[in-house]
Chains A and B, each alone.
Chain A
């Protein structure tokens, strides 16, 4: 997830699960919760969104063909056995209850995270461990934003986790549960790796004024 890692509270005294549930109910913002820590999720860069769009385009049609659903950017995943909630960038579920439910996914088959500087530590560490311990999960895809590099954690035939690394656009990612293969090139289509271009406030203001002139 692209988020600012800013705990809302000094974790000397952890947030209670009830407080978190209340916060999620009342607020329009999204928060993750792990054992007493609440982290607010901030907006994403355009490149992050573009990568999520590409991933959706590749994964969603295959998921639909198999009677599964791909949900990107908004869906909560939670551990049935613990007080932890996560918002991965993308999740695929094929489980009937999850397909009907309106409040999050309990049995994900695939989880996708697009890395950003502020979240890479959690995506590669704490969240990785949490995700891999979900018994339903078969694939965890971690996609770099600043270079062509994908970490593909997958369960092998014996149910053990293994990881493969893709660094070339010619490689393909096999997702047998969805009977599909995604090319690395398709995930990075239209993505440029240079430094992010951020419009300054003055430029934004100018842009807005011009739009008004046209009207």
Chain B
């Protein structure tokens, strides 16, 4: 999703704003950033990925749940609060103590890339999510062409990378024990699949 101006704010004020405002904001260690809406492609990729994840998790009988982009992830250690495009928690959901709306233990975070947020998703946000010991997989999905990148955490904090660029390929999410088909994620987007 797109993002707008950055404003200096304390965490306490941020939590108050979030509780009372219709707009959603992310928190970056003393600054807040308003979230903007997404393109039709963004919306479709999000729903497609959500469906693919849920179907695969249920079929595999995994005790995991998928959360939409309305659910915030709190990263206390580096004072960041982000809204991922999708997140998955396995087992009991842990909530932030100051802000019980926010979760703190995603195994997978999905971000759908747009031109305005790509460097944030690859830079600061990935850095923030990496601080969560629960995070095992980070998935980036491109809107303008078929490119899915999955970063899977291995021992010694190395992240293995899979890059998928064609229908027929499958994305392996080892920490969740499931695989996703590229054509399911880009379902209905034939214009960019060819």
Interface residues of A (CB under 8 A from B): 120-121, 124-125, 128-129, 132, 149, 153, 156, 160-165
Contacts and interface: CB of A to CB of B under 8 A. Distances in A.
16 contacts: A120-B123, A121-B115, A121-B119, A124-B118, A124-B119, A125-B122, A132-B161, A132-B163, A156-B160, A160-B161, A162-B154, A162-B158, A162-B160, A163-B151, A165-B130, A165-B157
B118 to A, nearest CB: 5
A148 B161 CA distance: 23
A164 B113 CA distance: 21
A110 B163 CA distance: 20
Contact of B158 (A121, A124, A128, A163): A163
A129 B163 contact: yes
Interface in B118-134: 118-119, 122-123, 127, 130
B147 interface: yes
Interface in B150-194: 151, 154, 157-163
Nearest to B123: A124
Given A162-B154, A165-B127, A125 B159 contact: no
B163 A163 contact: no
A161 B163 contact: yes
> How many residues of B sit at the interface, in one of the four size bands?
10 to 19
B147 A164 contact: no
A162 B150 CA distance: 10
- Is chain A's interface secondary structure helix, strand, loop, or mixed overall? mixed
A124 B122 contact: yes
Which label, helix, strand, loop or mixed, suits the secondary structure of the B interface?
mixed
Interface of B: 113, 115, 118-119, 122-123, 127, 130, 147, 151, 154, 157-163
Given A129-B147, A129-B163, A164 B119 contact: no
Contact of B119 (A125, A156, A161, A165): A125
A160 B147 contact: no
List the 9 closest pairs (A to B, CB-CB), nearest first: A121-B119, A124-B122, A161-B161, A120-B119, A125-B118, A162-B160, A163-B159, A162-B158, A164-B158
B139 to A, nearest CB: 14
B166 to A, nearest CB: 13
B192 to A, nearest CB: 15
A162 B158 CA distance: 7
B161 A163 contact: yes
A70 B163 CA distance: 28
A124 B162 CA distance: 16
B175 to A, nearest CB: 15
A132 to B, nearest CB: 7
B117 to A, nearest CB: 9
> Which among B119, B127, B157 has the greatest number of chain A C-beta atoms within 10 A?
B119
